[in-house]
Amino acid sequence: MAILHIALMGNKILMEKSKQISDPTKPEYKKLAKDMQETLENIGANGLAAPQVHVPERLVVYRIVAHQIPPESNMKPVPWRVLINPIVTPQTDEVKPIWERCLSLPGLHGEVPRYTKVQLTAQQLDGSKIEIKASGFHAMLLQHECDHLDGVLYPMQMIDISTLSFDTELGDSRFYIPRSAEEFME
């Protein structure tokens, strides 16, 4: 088991545009994805982009854990997915602010405007193509992770910087996935 060291905001690797992966089936990517998955499991987090673990290449690992989904929402869990060379295309003009956190800015959260519906195309580790339609929290997560591949951290997308806050000040509202059911219809 390998737990990877996560680069924090200020590290130059997070500001770089990551390289396109020419052969997703190379064993090194399978190992990287497995290590990233173990790193996320270890922290109990949902998503990680390769530059966050010091590899400036276009690879993202994510999932959405069932126990983090509010019971009254219609959101479905998402199993582990590895996205290689992902491209996000908005499916609506609608943009809504949503709370985000990032493993590269531990202890903080902030409100970021994101497209509410997106489509993502990517390659997988076996070289096959995957197409994902996502809305609400899932759509935000995909936009957030793909931003990392272009050297963009969520504070760079914030409009109202006054919402950037320490998690310790949240009190009872420690749950970050919004509860409104309409946010999760897919």
Contact 86, 146 (CB under 8 A): yes
Which is the catalytic residue, given 100, 111, 145, 183? 145
| Binding status of residue 118 toward Ni ion by CB under 5 A | no
Query: Count residues contacting Ni ion (CB under 5 A)?
Result: 1
Beta-carbon contacts of residue 128 (< 8 Å; ≥ 6 apart) = none
Which residues are CB-contacts of 159 (< 8 A; sequence separation ≥ 6)? 97, 113
Sign of CA dihedral 68, 71, 73, 74: positive
Q: Work out how close the CB of 145 gets to Ni ion at its nearest, in angstroms, rounded to a whole number.
A: 7
Main-chain phi, psi angles of 145, to 5 degrees? -65, -40
145 is catalytic: yes
* Binding-residue pattern over the window 70 to 109 for Ni ion, x denoting contact by CB under 5 A: --------------------------------x-------
> Looking only at residues 49 through 68 of this chain, which bind Ni ion when binding is defined by CB under 5 A?
none
Task: Indicate the residue among 48 and 122 with the shorter CB distance to Ni ion.
Answer: 48
Q: Give the residues lining the site for Ni ion (CB under 5 A).
A: 102
Catalytic positions, please? 145
